[in-house]
Structure 1
């Protein structure tokens, strides 16, 4: 197959540094692959972690094009696609054209905003499946969502409400995060701005309407220990992140006395079909207005500076590279 005219890509040349914008010849499509013209590629925490060289995937081979997911067009259809960029050798979504195994594509509904689908993407997949598949959320249950100012947390608040949760208590550290959690539809919002377990536990006790059934936890650390105290006997806590700490002071006596279920979740365990079904659900909820998230778009030329801001924690919004 002949190559198309040169386009653009973000090339990460050194772990820990922002990528550079470079000219990029469209790759040939290999066996079973199709070429996707990229519409939107989000800069996600996983991209930043992989590119840092400090993830459990190891130091990535450089240079490479980052981007573990994206939205584009193939064969006249809007599609979502994943990549293994930063986790295994190969290039990702932050290029004008990428070669993707056709079996990995998820066709999107015409009504779904492709940039918003990209902004939510695997974060909303994690929120959905951690609530339902791992957490067993049932209609009428009460849910606590930690880290509710982030993309996973905001999606979890909206999805829990849509699934029939009778009450959703959201928690976030920053004032802006708490505002986003409230805008997502939380019934009550808790300030996580304390390192004292007893103080945070008291805040949760005041916010819940009787014991909670499920905690969705992208943060761990002290907040997880405090939220766990608000669970009913037999309640569940699903952990899918550790931004507040790799360890948590959850006590053995609490686990045993309330027979709590502490569960882990990662998108990495999903089969292709599970992931595709979840992405299709996210896209459908974007199309019908159930799911949205504040985000910003940047051009490829502005992407290196935007990447640096994201890596430094200088923005609370999901940033999407959109040519």
Structure 2
């Protein structure tokens, strides 16, 4: 079978011919249709992550969409985090417990593009952030995959107004396309300036902030929250530290919450990906993405690693 193969940590995968996998006890064979190239894939393959140096050669890909027994499925793998192969192959053997059956007729590429990023957006907003209908939400990094999904998922959950923040003009355009009511430029690290920009377009104090950035944008967003408001952090794309001042936290009794997909139970993850797939099938949830062929995986991987991808890159198998 054809697959993408990491031959040495820190180097991009190359197309390769490999033996087809043979499922072991408790495993199911999946014919893969689409596999996204994600930041986690790049991190795992780097050999410098907290997962350690992966055993090579191996097939990368921590998630994918395909068919098993004639039924559409989404699946996750531990490729790069533990020995074994991932989703970027024509066929993969997956623990049966890691399969989630999808609704008939779903677009595998659309679901692959959303994947765990949309799961994170949905669960951070609802399960962790407690989003209620009628609340106002501020989404930082709204041009990224998590942010685009969060804007749409907040709307689906009943948010009355959604303010988005994004750095580049292209990212701001993606946030608008996702349906944000107002979009703020995050092209400065001046916390006071960012706070003023958020306040100018928000309809009063914000109830909930979704933050995959941290750093100055999160500090500014915290200042827009109402008393008892919540900020859910699920990333640090802007900075590993954040200049939130104590008086902002104390004066409004704010709640700062952390989120990771790793905390989800298999049942929570399955329910979330099912919801994401259903909304995608209804045309209510999508993110910017591009499709690449297996022969182009090396260049596509390098664009993802270098931050040059305009949306999620999905490998079509």
User: Which bracket does the TM-score occupy, shorter chain normalised?
Assistant: over 0.9
Q: Which residue number in structure 2 is paired with residue 316 of structure 1?
A: 310
1:194 Cα offset (Å): 0.3
1:103 Cα offset (Å): 1.8
User: Unpaired segments of 5 or more residues in structure 1?
Assistant: 1-6
Cα pair 2:34 2:112 within 8 Å, conserved: yes
Specify which of 210, 226, 229 is matched with residue 235 of structure 1. 229
Structure 2 distance, partners of 1:119, 1:10, is 18
Q: Which residue number in structure 1 is paired with residue 218 of structure 2?
A: 224
Q: Which residue number in structure 2 is paired with residue 210 of structure 1?
A: 204
Q: Which residue number in structure 1 is paired with residue 185 of structure 2?
A: 191
User: Unpaired segments of 5 or more residues in structure 2?
Assistant: none
Asked if 1:270 corresponds to 2:264, the answer is yes
Q: Which residue number in structure 1 is paired with residue 242 of structure 2?
A: 248
1:253 Cα offset (Å): 1.3
Which digits, 9 at most, give the CA deviation of each residue in 1:133-162, with x for residues without a partner? 000000000000000001100000001011
Q: Which residue number in structure 1 is paired with residue 115 of structure 2?
A: 121
1:62 Cα offset (Å): 2.0
Q: Which residue number in structure 2 is paired with residue 3 of structure 1?
A: none
Cα pair 2:288 2:310 within 8 Å, conserved: no
* Mapping of residues 1-323 of structure 1, within 5 Å: 7-323=1-317
What is the root-mean-square deviation of aligned Cα atoms in Å?
A: 0.9
Q: Per the alignment, in what secondary structure is the counterpart of residue 227 of structure 2?
A: strand
Structure 1 distance, partners of 2:95, 2:220, is 44
Aligned residues: 317
Q: Per the alignment, in what secondary structure is the counterpart of residue 319 of structure 1?
A: strand
Which digits, 9 at most, give the CA deviation of each residue in 1:185-211, with x for residues without a partner? 100000001011111111111121100
Q: Which residue number in structure 2 is paired with residue 4 of structure 1?
A: none
Per the normalisation by structure 2, the TM-score is 0.98
1:15 Cα offset (Å): 2.1
Moved over 4 A (4+): none
Moved more, 208-217 or 13-22: 13-22
Structure 1 distance, partners of 2:188, 2:14, is 39
Structure 1 distance, partners of 2:81, 2:57, is 13
Structure 2 distance, partners of 1:178, 1:110, is 33
1:54 Cα offset (Å): 2.9
Structure 2 distance, partners of 1:291, 1:205, is 27
Which digits, 9 at most, give the CA deviation of each residue in 1:94-135, with x for residues without a partner? 011100111211111123111100000000000000000000
Which digits, 9 at most, give the CA deviation of each residue in 1:29-56, with x for residues without a partner? 0001111011000001111121122322
Structure 1 distance, partners of 2:249, 2:46, is 35
Q: Per the alignment, in what secondary structure is the counterpart of residue 123 of structure 1?
A: helix
Structure 2 distance, partners of 1:26, 1:300, is 16
Structure 1 distance, partners of 2:287, 2:271, is 20
